Amino acid sequence: MRRIPWIPITIISVIVIMAAFAPLIAPYSPIDQTLPDKLLPPFWLEGGRGKYILGTDPFGRDILSRLIHGARVSLIVALLALTAGGGVGLAIGILAGYLGGPVDSVLMRLVDAAFTFPAILFALLLAVTMGQGMATLVIAISLLLWASFARIIRGEVLALKQRDFVALAKVRGCSALRIMLTHILPNVLNTFMVLVTLNIGVVIIAEAALSFLGAGIPPPTPTWGLMISEGRGRIADAWWVSLIPGIAITLLVLSVNLFGDWLRDRLDPRLRQL
């Protein structure tokens, strides 16, 4: 049995707690500008002040406070997009894989069609038509996710339904719906959980990319992607403005992936109790 990955769990917990209690933890408002204090470096660098631990951005806003509030937006977007996109993908994958035939053909052509959409372009289109905001962002990222979930889950179901335990369930008189829910679904949950954790990284990066491009949450609400974007013009003299949220994204995605890896092993009953 692998050891429990304490470091990733700690990092994830810290970020989750930060996100949950952002207004209580953050030392300053993430929005209010203090222009005289603009572009101050983190406190350990020359010119840094203890007041702003991670420095300030071009508008004199505290980067630590923006990071804490930004975690909230990033995590909520990830949660909603994975629930919507992943859930739809899971359901479609199981239906297509188990029922087969025309249902499978129609659903999988939909998946093929979804893959042909350039996701970023589509998100920009959505942002233009629906306006910027959390809902647009979640819909855009869900549309990016569901197809890959559906395709992978379907493949898994195709293999599962050939197994004799499905035949034995039919022999016992179980209906197709019952077999899908009680026999197929629990068997693909491992794969689903691994897909979810691996895609948390994808979602956070997609959220950052879309916010960076201006198709995400509108400023001044802080998100990690937007923060990177705001620093890109000053990368030579004020690198911390972009780099600090970049490090935060890297840490979170890496931790989530390590945790997902461990979770996959943990959930596999064949590896349990060995």
Partner 1 sequence: MSAAGGVKDETILEVRDLRTHFFLRRGVVKAVDGVSFTLRRGEVLGLVGESGCGKSVTALSLMRLLPKGGARAIGGEVLLDGTDILTLGDSQMREIRGRKISMILQDPQTSLNPVFTVGDQLRESIFRRAGGRTAQIMREAVAALRRVDIAAPEQRIGQYPHQMSGGMKQRVVGAIVMSGEPEVLIADEPTTALDVTIQLQYLKLLQRLQRETGMAILFITHDFGVVARLCDRVAVMYAGRIVECGPVQEVFEHPSHPYTQALIASVPAMTGPIGRLTTIEGQPPSLMDLSAGCRFEPRCRHAEARCREAYPPPVGVGPDHTADCWRLQPA
Per CB under 8 A, residues contacting partner 1 are 100-101, 163-165, 167-175, 182-183, 186-187, 189, 269-270, 272-273
CA distances to 26, 39, 68, 160, 162 from 61, rounded to whole Å, are 12, 9, 13, 54, 59
Q: Which residues pair with 62 in a beta bridge?
A: 56
For partner 1, the closer CB: 84 or 174: 174
- Compare residues 39 and 99 and give the one whose CB is closer to partner 1: 99
**Alpha carbon of residue 50 to chain centroid:** 33
33, 59 contact by CB (below 8 A): yes
In the complex, least distance from residue 272 CB atom to partner 1, rounded to whole angstroms: 8
Nearer to partner 1, 164 or 237 (CB): 164
**What's the chain's length in residues?**
274
The Cα 196–Cα 188 span in angstroms is 12
Q: Where do we find the tokens 């679904």?
A: 185
What is the smallest separation between the CB atom of 149 and partner 1, expressed in angstroms? 19
- What minimum distance in Å lies between the beta carbon of 42 and partner 1? 49
Cβ 170 to partner 1, closest distance in Å?
6
- Min dist CB 262 to partner 1, Å, is 19
Query: CA angle at residue 85 from 264 to 248, to 5 degrees?
Result: 65
| Residue number with CB closer to partner 1 (31 or 267) | 267
Distance CA 158, CA 180 (A): 12
Residue with Cβ nearer partner 1 (94 or 139): 94
Looking at beta carbons only, is 72 or 183 nearer to partner 1?
183
What Cα–Cα distance (Å) separates residue 48 from each residue in 45, 51, 164, 214?
A: 5, 9, 67, 30
CB of 89 to partner 1, least distance (A): 20
